[in-house]
Structure 1
Amino acid sequence: MKIFTIANQKGGVGKTSFATHFAFYLIEKGMKGVFIDLDTQVNASYTLEKSFPSSKYAHSLFQDNFSIDNSDEKLTLFLGSNELAEIYSNSSVNEVTKVFYNSIQILKQKGFDFCIIDTAPSLNSSLVAALFSSDYVLSPIEPEKYALQGIEKMINLISNIRKQNNKLIFLGMLISKINRRDPRHIKHYNQLMEKYPGFVLPQAIGLRSSIAEAVDIGIPVWNIKKSAARVASKEIKTVIECILEKTK
């Protein structure tokens, strides 16, 4: 089971939109997987539960007695909830990380092909736990000044986690929600390329209303029959294919 964490400490950068589309894509390719929503805003849960109803909750992965039966479901969804905030605030980082890691080891024994972890837009114990338990991490980023300022903290965190989890691979930054007609976006995009050569994925995802429409109704954007959706579909699929090539 390959474990992917989608993470950025800045919210509104297209993290959940990409994470849910990544899951849809892999399922359509015939894979069987797990999706863990560690965000108390539960946006990923809202989108995916329309196609993959679930009674499982992500906070159960932070309990010592975690167990799960074998399932024939294409996607096993662990829903986000308010209980996650209680765990993060009442437990030490080391305790949260250890218990979550052990739960992931149990999931590994159940024959899943992939696990996607969508994290909250903040630096908390669940983000540390997810990175400690993962094989790969991807950081979507919007080409805005505040997002650029925050990505350095994200990179430093990944670097520190790799001292304990040396198998963790940083797949890079995914430029998301870019408006190529906005000079400010183009300037910030170029700044990222100059400052982090080799750490920015070659394909960016544009600011597309069709993506927002898709996650709102709980389907991948390539199932929306509009010309604008076709452009968004091509961008997202190109990014995913790039990731799969990197993780062969």
Structure 2
Amino acid sequence: MKTLVIANQKGGVGKTATFVHLVFDYAARGLKIAAIDLDTQGNASFTLAAHKTGVLSSDLYLKPSIDALIPTDNVALVEADPSLAEIERLPLADGIKALRQKITAMEEAGFDLCLIDTAPSLGVAMASALAVADFVVSPIELEVYSFQGITSLVTTITNIRDNVNPNLNWLGMIPAKYDARNPRHRNNLATLRESYPSLVLNPVGNRSSIAEALETSKPVWAIQRTAARKAAQEVRAVNQQIFDMMVE
């Protein structure tokens, strides 16, 4: 089983949209997915509610074991809950140990892939997820505030890799909410590619059909509107990029 974390310390960058579409896409390929929502906002849990298992994300840290995850249509959701806030008081080493134990149990249960959505802040939840993961991918908005956070993001991932998890592979950044008609976005994308030539994945446009998909608990390629077709092409293109890198 591979474990992929979606992480960025900046909020509002398309992180949850990326997470749920990876879940939908890879489950449709026949992979058995454990989807873990570590964001107390619970947005991913809302969109993936049809795949609830009764297991809560705080259980991964606060209980010695969890009930067996029973997937629905290849997806087993470990949903966010208010008690997630309590894990931020745990020593990081304890959080890593607890989460690693549950991830191992999921692998032993026959899951092919564990996908983890994280909150937009560096705490025990994000750090422990990165500590047990094989891969991390980071959606980023092509605006100045998001750009200012890149250095912190690079530092965080590098520190985890150097000091805790040498097997962590940063697949790169997804330029999300991209508006190709916006000169600022085009310039910022060019700058990003120049600064991090091996870490910039395909961009995904700022399209209302993606928000509609999240609200209606379906992937954007299931939205029956012409405007959704381009969004579906972009989302699936970056999903394929990520898939190809994970199986190399």
User: 1:67, CA displacement in angstroms?
Assistant: 2.7
In 2, Cα distance between the equivalents of 1:79 and 1:40? 9
Residue equivalent to 2:167: 167
Residue equivalent to 1:224: 223
User: 1:152, CA displacement in angstroms?
Assistant: 1.4
Residue equivalent to 1:68: 67
1:116 aligns with 2:115: yes
Residue equivalent to 1:7: 7
Residue equivalent to 1:22: 22
User: 1:32, CA displacement in angstroms?
Assistant: 0.8
SS in 2 for 1:205: coil
Give the letter aligned to residue 223 of structure 2: I
Residue equivalent to 2:47: 47
Residue equivalent to 1:152: 151
- Report the TM-score when normalising by structure 2: 0.95
Q: How does 1:84-99 map to 2 (within 5 A)?
A: 84-88=84-88, 90-99=89-98
Residue equivalent to 1:213: 212
Q: After alignment, is 236-245 or 93-102 more displaced?
A: 93-102
In 2, Cα distance between the equivalents of 1:131 and 1:52? 24
In 1, Cα distance between the equivalents of 2:178 and 2:233? 15
Aligned Cα root-mean-square deviation (Å) = 1.2
User: 1:70, CA displacement in angstroms?
Assistant: 5.9
Report if aligned partners of 2:136, 2:171 keep a CA contact under 8 Å in 1: yes
Identity level (%): 40
Q: After alignment, is 126-135 or 155-164 more displaced?
A: 155-164
Number of positions where the alignment pairs a residue of Structure 1 with one of Structure 2: 245
In 1, Cα distance between the equivalents of 2:160 and 2:128? 9
- How has the CA–CA distance of structure 1 residues 240 and 135 changed in structure 2, closer, same or farther, with 3 Å as cutoff? same
Deviations 1:92-137 (A, max 9, x none): 2222122112221121111001010000011111111000110000
1:181 aligns with 2:186: no
Report if aligned partners of 2:62, 2:87 keep a CA contact under 8 Å in 1: no
- How has the CA–CA distance of structure 1 residues 72 and 46 changed in structure 2, closer, same or farther, with 3 Å as cutoff? closer
In 2, Cα distance between the equivalents of 1:69 and 1:172? 32
User: 1:64, CA displacement in angstroms?
Assistant: 4.5
Report if aligned partners of 2:55, 2:67 keep a CA contact under 8 Å in 1: no
Give the letter aligned to residue 140 of structure 1: P
In 1, Cα distance between the equivalents of 2:223 and 2:172? 28
Runs of 4+ in 1 over 6 A off after TM superposition: none
User: 1:72, CA displacement in angstroms?
Assistant: 5.2
- How has the CA–CA distance of structure 1 residues 70 and 139 changed in structure 2, closer, same or farther, with 3 Å as cutoff? closer
User: 1:53, CA displacement in angstroms?
Assistant: 3.2
Gaps of at least 5 residues in structure 2 are: none
Q: How does 1:132-147 map to 2 (within 5 A)?
A: 132-147=131-146
SS in 1 for 2:136: strand
In 2, Cα distance between the equivalents of 1:30 and 1:177? 28
Q: After alignment, is 130-139 or 102-111 more displaced?
A: 102-111
In 2, Cα distance between the equivalents of 1:48 and 1:81? 14
Residue equivalent to 2:33: 33
Report if aligned partners of 2:207, 2:231 keep a CA contact under 8 Å in 1: yes
In 2, Cα distance between the equivalents of 1:70 and 1:54? 6
Give the letter aligned to residue 235 of structure 1: E
